[in-house]
Structure 1
Amino acid sequence: MYLPTPAFQIFIYCWCGHEIMEEGLSVSRAAYSSGWVGAGRRVSRGVRVLMCRAQRPLLLTAGKLYPVNRLTFVSLINASYTFYALLRQMRDR
């Protein structure tokens, strides 16, 4: 009963981190799709700078060690289950 609670908490962080990274990628497309072509020089320059900066993907990290996304969650669950199976096998001997 104890194991699902921390796994769910990690899942929530990883899911939200992944969603934030995906939304960050759509900022550049949204700026490009706006009506900036006929706008003034300052506005078009600002939108171009925004598009260039938004093309770099956002990367949320946990403790500056590993990225927080769905792939990280799956790898953590796989590693946890492997460790659990190893400990269970050693206990059964």
Structure 2
Amino acid sequence: MLSYLGATAFQLFIYCWFGNDMMLESVSVANAAWDSAWPDIKSKRFRFGIRMITHRSQKVILITAGGFANVTLDTFTTILRAAYSCFAVLKKVEN
């Protein structure tokens, strides 16, 4: 049973790790576009594209679980804390 719980926790951790990584990368898109040398470029089309990328990337991309919880490392730690609390209560009631 312990190996099953460990495998389930590891699988949940992998989803949360990559969800957190995707969130951080989506935030860095706006910073990378803004830090580029776009003021030096004379093409209006290129400058417009950089502004559109910056505007669009202000909304963070997140993976959600059923639309009610963001899949990030914070969610993973919250789930582990809640699971341990339930385990502790059930162990206390058993005794």
1:33 counterpart letter in structure 2 = D
Q: State the match for 1:85 in structure 2.
A: 88
Q: State the match for 2:52 in structure 1.
A: 49
Q: State the match for 1:8 in structure 2.
A: 10
Q: State the match for 1:35 in structure 2.
A: 37
In structure 2, what is the Cα distance between the partners aligned to 1:59 and 1:39? 34
Gaps of 5+ in 2: none
State the Cα deviation string for residues 61-81 of structure 1 (Å, max 9, x = none): 011010000110000000001
Gaps of 5+ in 1: none
2:12 counterpart letter in structure 1 = I
Shift of 1:36: 2.1
Shift of 1:39: 3.4
Q: State the match for 1:69 in structure 2.
A: 72
| Counterpart secondary structure, 1:16 | helix
User: Quick one: percent identity of the two aligned structures?
Assistant: 38
State the Cα deviation string for residues 21-41 of structure 1 (Å, max 9, x = none): 001111011111223222301
TM-score w.r.t. the length of structure 1 is: 0.91
1:79 counterpart letter in structure 2 = A
TM-score w.r.t. the length of structure 2 is: 0.90
In structure 2, what is the Cα distance between the partners aligned to 1:86 and 1:24? 39
1:78 counterpart letter in structure 2 = R
Aligned length: 92
